[in-house]
Amino acid sequence: MLYKRGTVWWYEFVIRGQRIRESTYSRSRSLARRAMDQRRRALEEGANGITRRPAPLLFSAAAREHLALKRLKWKPSTQRIEAKNVEHLIRGFARRLLFDITAGDVSKYQRQRRRDGASCGTINLEIATLRAILRRHRLWAALQPDIEALPRRDDVGKTLTLAEEARLLSACRASHSRLLYPAVVVTLNTGLRRGELLSLRWSQVDLAGLCLTVGASKSLAGRGRVIPLNATATAVLGAWASSFPERRPEHAVFPTERVGASGDSFSVYITGTDPNTPVRSLRAAWTSAKKVAMVSARWHDLRHTVCTRLLEAGLSLPLVGRILGWSPSTMVLMSHRYGHVDVLTQREAMSRLDRLAVPTTATTVLG
């Protein structure tokens, strides 16, 4: 039933004993009639368990919608990774409708990306983004049994030799970025992840107490852990702190800086520093330093070097894991990756049984 209140049309009807009385906010009787019919139909379909199939959606549109919805929840680094993943996925599925994507299409995409030279780890990250997009539209469950992650190498990693480290540090010290040298030295003496390092604030560094507290971290086990500072890390952080006499606890340890150059010698100088904003990346300076030092290594290899050296010094894997902030699942993986390094520690542990057991000789055993 339609009726008027003032100049606005209202409708009223009963469905399953429930009286529905709502305004159409319209002065048009014909529009009010359509609004009432649409409202009644929606309620009747819901009461009978009838759901409308969503309109077909192109993958490219769904992917961009995924980025827009998640942007506020992601850290800037995650936003960049996800945007890159979507960029590659759109090339493979741009004009496909979401419900037309099959497990065969995903497998074909994986093979093509391998031919393009992408690593298995990178492809797995892209498929994880694809999974999130399809799961949001309730389409992933049907594909999941037939899709497998590509095998990743668990032996990737390089330990720097002392000679390589010396060349690399020399090149970092001469870099146009004055942040690079202290950042590399601190990493080589704490094992911090790159994100943990670059997000450091001075409130997290206790030079008097010879320790630093990790803030945001990749793993729950890594967040909030306290890392003791050795003499090298303390000296470098102390010298670096003296470069910022007006620093505050909330300021970034490695702030964003703008640099310029002048003169025939192309002398570099600092044109501005934003102490509240951590530097986003040291990639350009790092790449240049590696080239000068003739060292082939990733930034993560600095952390790999720390791990290997700690194990070679006799520390157990669990202790190294606590220092580096490994999650329980990562601990299992690392026990396989670094098992050959930890063998000396294991041998020492087993030798302790000799000192604790009743003396026994081969003659006694053989009778």
- Check: CB of residue 247 under 8 Å from CB of residue 164: no
Each residue's pLDDT tens digit, 328-350: 877 767 766 665 555 666 666 66
How high does pLDDT run on average in the chain? 86
CA distance 172 to 178: 8
Q: What letter does residue 97 receive in the DSSP assignment?
A: B
Q: How many residues comprise the chain?
A: 367
Give the span between the Cα atoms of 59 and 90, in whole angstroms.
Answer: 7
Q: What confidence score (pLDDT) does residue 313 get?
A: 84
Q: Which carries the bigger pLDDT value, residue 365 or residue 139?
A: 139
Which residues, 6 or more positions from 361, have their beta carbon under 8 angstroms from its beta carbon?
Answer: none
pLDDT of residue 356: 60
Which tens digits make up the pLDDT trace of 67-119? Answer: 999 888 887 878 899 999 999 999 999 888 988 999 999 999 999 999 999 98
User: For 283, what's the count of Cα atoms within 13 Å in the CB-facing half-sphere?
Assistant: 3
Report the SS3 class of residue 272. Answer: strand
Q: Are 280 and 293 in contact (CB under 8 A)?
A: no
Residue 212 bridge partners (DSSP): 205, 227
Q: Tell me which residue of 285, 296, 283 sits closest to 164, measured CA to CA.
A: 296
CATH number of 59-146: 1.10.150
- pLDDT tens-digit series, residues 211-232: 999 998 877 878 899 999 999 9
For the chain, the maximum distance between any two Cα atoms, rounded to a whole number of angstroms, is 112
362 CB-near residues (< 8 Å, 6+ apart): none
Task: Read off the pLDDT of each residue in 126-130 and give the average, rounded to a whole number.
Answer: 95
59-146 shares its CATH topology with 162-294: no
**pLDDT for res 341:** 57
pTM for the whole structure: 0.64
Q: Which strands form 226-228's sheet, in the order they lie side by side?
A: 205-206, 211-213, 226-228
Q: Using CA atoms, how far apart are residues 352 and 3, in angstroms rounded to an integer?
A: 93
What is residue 359's predicted lDDT score, i.e. its pLDDT? 62
187-208: average pLDDT: 94
CB atoms within 10 A of CB 310: 19
Q: What angle do CA 268, 271, 274 make, to 5 degrees?
A: 125
DSSP code for 163 = H
Contact by Cβ (8 Å): 366, 186: no
Distances (CA, A) of 74 to 65, 71, 171, 282, 334: 14, 5, 35, 21, 28
Give the count of beta carbons closer than 10 Å to the beta carbon of residue 235.
14
287 token code pair: 């790449």
Q: How far apart are CA 301 and CA 158, in angstroms?
A: 5
Evaluate if residue 63 carries a pLDDT over 70.
yes
Partner residues linked to 227 by β-bridges: 212
Cα–Cα distance, 181 to 302 (Å, whole number): 13
Domain 162-294 has CATH 1.10.443.10: yes
In this structure, are residues 324 and 303 in contact, taking their beta carbons and an 8 Å threshold? yes
Pairing of strands 8-15, 255-262: unpaired
Token code pair at residue 196: 């943990």
pLDDT one-digit tens code per residue, 27-59:
999 999 999 999 888 888 877 777 665 666 899
Over 70: is that where the pLDDT of 366 sits?
no
The pLDDT of residue 267 is above 90: no
Distance CA 211, CA 228 (A): 4
In the chain, where are the structural domains located?
Answer: 2-47, 59-146, 162-294
Nearest in space to 202 (alpha carbons), one of 256, 259, 244, 230 = 244
